[in-house]
Structure 1
């Protein structure tokens, strides 16, 4: 664990934390994106011919235990490269991207999506992370011209997932509030990043309309029901972070006043959750929940007023203290994905 993080309890310097931990994150991600096994496929078999290894099904995102983790480990590398936080590993990231992001490989990913049995593939968590990855490559290309080739090669796959959102949102009458992959608010948050970066006004409007429709009238969120046993997202905090994005100033303050849980229930979001077995892939989700809470509270921080703002600052520190070490080392149940959530908390 980096010495910087072992300081006495106090306000975290997230930029320094990212710089201190970024090289380790980069080494983890570079190893993960080419580690094919173990692998948990989201795959429908329609005939014996569909029995293929991960690398053939997904020529780009075959590593990191599952498809979506491979996507957000690529995002992590792009984020570290853009923030200058990858350390000595920075020189290996362009080579990795040149290998991964080729027209033929991206065509293979699109071909998989075009299977009739893949209509719900990675909906909406993987969709959102792919768009988030492309948003990061767009930002990276604006600063480092070499990234233009990765951005351009990935764009057709981003187009495919943006269209999936446009097709799906009108059909999605109800949001998914559970704190796991399909959480609707989390997906909208990440997809909005892409819509802004790519200047996709049609997608942005669809996301905004659905966000208001799903969450604009929520009142007194029952925070005491969180977390579930394998949550890695806070449904309530993701929703609040989304509405903070969609509403300005007094409008968000009015929404938050109606939405905010009563004090005794709000306490459920303020203390880190314990993790009983980090070798269990589902229980290890709770480390991710602690990092996701730190990320959400940081997104909310500028819009909060005293004394909740000061409480939230301490909450962010406590959640990072509890979870960040487990993104750096430990069982593969956590290390195949936690570093990306740590980077969200430290760099958004």
Structure 2
């Protein structure tokens, strides 16, 4: 019998058959400890942040001279299949190093971050952002939002090395904020998809960064535009979700965003109009957990990420509601169902189409980054 990895091992008792050919019972598998789970997340990122291939790049080419390898284009964030996954893979490592300094992989994480966060590498990243043909749309908004989460993590980490790395990343952070500041007022409509270009999810990460960085000007800009784009929304068509390759829920992500912007009383009222279908009977079935049938297909594997992101967003929504709100139990039960399925997909064996990015989503959920 082929056994799966240590997190999913089923130990079979090969007893002697009795006269009625009854086999001995199977010994139940042990659940992994929190330390084992965190180590698993770290391993996923360590395996890919400096793995250049396979790779998908988004790159404008005007001549043969523009044909370059991922590492030549993005000297810090060339691994993990694409730029944004590399960025949040580095965030994952930073998050674990800052929150779990006794992790088995702490020294490997520090060495990996030091390898990426050099002045030369970040100068190369900034040079790419300053290319005339790159414009302000590169990795907007998803990758840019995750980069801000990365610097947010460094900013909140009381560690001399983290402060040094933050200084190195700050010029690119400034460039990204300048690009977003230029873009936000021009955005006529929100982007309501379940993939990278969705604005609600990215705005939530950006909002949290603005508070952490004490950037009141950018926070005010976000609040103005979030209110303009979302405050009057009602009756979100949750029944149409998910699409077949979503890793973000347009409806749930918007609800998680607005709890950051509105007061508790305003939010409870807004949520009633926005998602009137949330039940008050405590049942979780109002939001079905998604299932991936082919983990080798990168787009279909997105649904594992959907379960993870829904879980943390539902927890965020519940955190903004009064303890006596009759919807809260159903929201938390749905969060738990999605969390169980999502974490299970990361703890067990995965194809690289999922392993290069799902660890970041699992870490964001498990460490409750969005609730802080």
TM-score (norm 1): 0.91
Equivalent position of 2:189 in the other structure: 174
Q: 1:342 aligns with which of 355, 362, 369?
A: 362
Offset of residue 80 of structure 1:
0.8
Q: How many residues align?
A: 336
Structure 1 residue runs without a partner (length 5+): 7-15
SS at match of 2:147: helix
Find out whether 1:106 has 2:122 as its counterpart: yes
Whole-angstrom CA distance in 2 between matches of 1:343 and 1:219: 32
Superposed CA offset, 1:108-147 (max 9, x none): 001111112212111111110111111011011xx22221
Equivalent position of 2:153 in the other structure: 136
Equivalent position of 2:40 in the other structure: 24
Whole-angstrom CA distance in 1 between matches of 2:221 and 2:286: 30
Is the CA contact (8 Å cut-off) linking 1:18 and 1:85 kept in structure 2?
A: no
Superposed CA offset, 1:138-195 (max 9, x none): 011xx22221111111111111111111000011111101010011111111111221
Whole-angstrom CA distance in 2 between matches of 1:42 and 1:255: 38
Whichever of the two has the greater Rg, that structure is 2
Is the CA contact (8 Å cut-off) linking 1:106 and 1:157 kept in structure 2?
A: yes
Find out whether 1:192 has 2:207 as its counterpart: yes
Is the CA contact (8 Å cut-off) linking 2:97 and 2:106 kept in structure 1?
A: yes
Equivalent position of 2:229 in the other structure: 214
TM-score (norm 2): 0.86
SS at match of 2:125: helix
Superposed CA offset, 1:194-215 (max 9, x none): 2111111111111111110110
Offset of residue 261 of structure 1:
3.6
Equivalent position of 1:274 in the other structure: 291
SS at match of 1:117: coil
Whole-angstrom CA distance in 2 between matches of 1:147 and 1:205: 28
Find out whether 1:331 has 2:351 as its counterpart: yes
- C-alpha distance 269-176 of structure 1, shift in aligned 2 (>3 A): farther
SS at match of 1:182: coil
Select the structure that is richer in helix. Answer: 1
Whole-angstrom CA distance in 1 between matches of 2:284 and 2:235: 14
Structure 2 residue runs without a partner (length 5+): 11-31
SS at match of 1:88: coil
Whole-angstrom CA distance in 2 between matches of 1:85 and 1:189: 27
Equivalent position of 1:315 in the other structure: 334
Is the CA contact (8 Å cut-off) linking 2:97 and 2:109 kept in structure 1?
A: yes
Superposed CA offset, 1:228-247 (max 9, x none): 11110001111111100001
Matches within 5 A, 1:224-263: 224-263=239-278
Equivalent position of 1:92 in the other structure: 108
Find out whether 1:289 has 2:309 as its counterpart: no
Is the CA contact (8 Å cut-off) linking 1:19 and 1:85 kept in structure 2?
A: no
Is the CA contact (8 Å cut-off) linking 1:223 and 1:268 kept in structure 2?
A: no
